[in-house]
Amino acid sequence: MKHKVLIVDDHMVVREGLKLILETNDSFQVIGEAENGEIALQIIEDSKPDVILMDLNMPVKSGLDTIKVLNDKQIYIPVIILTTYNEDELMIKGIEMGAKGYLLKDTSREHLFRTIESAIRGETLLQDEVIQKLLNKKSKKQNVVSSSDKLSLTEKELFILQAVAKGFRSREIAFDMGIAERTVKAHLTNIFNKLGVNTRTEAVAVAMENGLFRL
C-alpha cells in the first residue's frame, strides 16, 4: 500500500523537485500539491493524506497557521517541516506545535524517505542540535524544570512519557496500559504542567535534558 503525501510549499520548483524524488519510490504517492495553507487545508479535508510536507513561510496562510488549524480541529496527520538554513525560529515553533520533524529543502533522497517513513510510524525525529535549541528557548523563558518538579513525576507518568518519546500514540499507550485513552491524555496534561511545557515534543526534550530517561 502506498503512503499518500501532500506537498505544501509556495515555490513550484520545490514542490516539483520533491514530487519527482518521491515518485521514484513505490512506497509513496503524491496526492496533492498546495502553494499555501488555505489550499492545503482543502486538500487535507478531501484527500486525507498520510503525511504532509509543510513549508512554514508562505503567503495567504503560513505553515504555522495551518498547523494550528489542524491542531484545533484535532486532525492528527503527521507534519514534516520544510525549511532552509536561516529559519531556525520558525522551525522550532513548528516542532513545539507538534511537527514530527524537519527537512532541509536540499535534503538527500535517502533522508527524505527515512524521515517520511518515521513520521508515518508516529515517531518524532529530533536531532541533538534541535533538542538543544528547544531547551535553550525554554531556558530563556525561565521555564526549565526544577529538581523538585522532576521528582514529582510518578512512575506511571514516566512510563507514558517514555512511550511518547518512542513515537507511540495515546490510544496505543492506553491499550498497552489497560486504561482509557482519555486517562492517558489526562496524565499528559499533568506531565506538561509539571515540566512547564505545552507539547509532547517539549516534554520529551526537557525530560531527557534532566536525566529522567534516555532513548
**Which pLDDT belongs to residue 151?**
47
Last residue of a domain, one of 64, 97, 125: 125
One domain, residues 102 and 188: no
Per-residue pLDDT at 60 exceeds 70: yes
One domain, residues 82 and 171: no
Per-residue pLDDT at 126 exceeds 70: no
One domain, residues 96 and 28: yes
One domain, residues 68 and 114: yes
Helix (H) or strand (E) holding 46: helix 37-47
Query: pLDDT, tens digit, for every residue of 91-114?
Result: 778 887 888 888 888 888 888 998
Last residue of a domain, one of 125, 151, 178: 125
Query: pLDDT, tens digit, for every residue of 149-194?
Result: 454 788 899 889 888 887 788 888 988 888 998 899 899 888 888 8
Domain that holds residue 82: 3-125
One domain, residues 178 and 118: no
In a domain, 214, yes or no: no
In a domain, 41, yes or no: yes
In a domain, 15, yes or no: yes
Per-residue pLDDT at 64 exceeds 80: yes
**Residue 207 half-sphere exposure, CB side, CA atoms within 13 Å?**
29
In a domain, 215, yes or no: no
One domain, residues 104 and 54: yes
DSSP one-letter string for 91-132: HHHHHHTT--EEEETT--HHHHHHHHHHHHTT-----HHHHH
Per-residue pLDDT at 32 exceeds 80: yes
CA–CA gap between residue 18 and residue 25 (Å, rounded) = 11
In a domain, 21, yes or no: yes
One domain, residues 166 and 94: no
Per-residue pLDDT at 35 exceeds 50: yes
Per-residue pLDDT at 141 exceeds 50: no
pTM greater than 0.75 (yes/no): no
Per-residue pLDDT at 24 exceeds 90: yes
CATH of residue 7's domain is 3.40.50.2300
Per-residue pLDDT at 130 exceeds 60: no
Domain count, the chain: 2
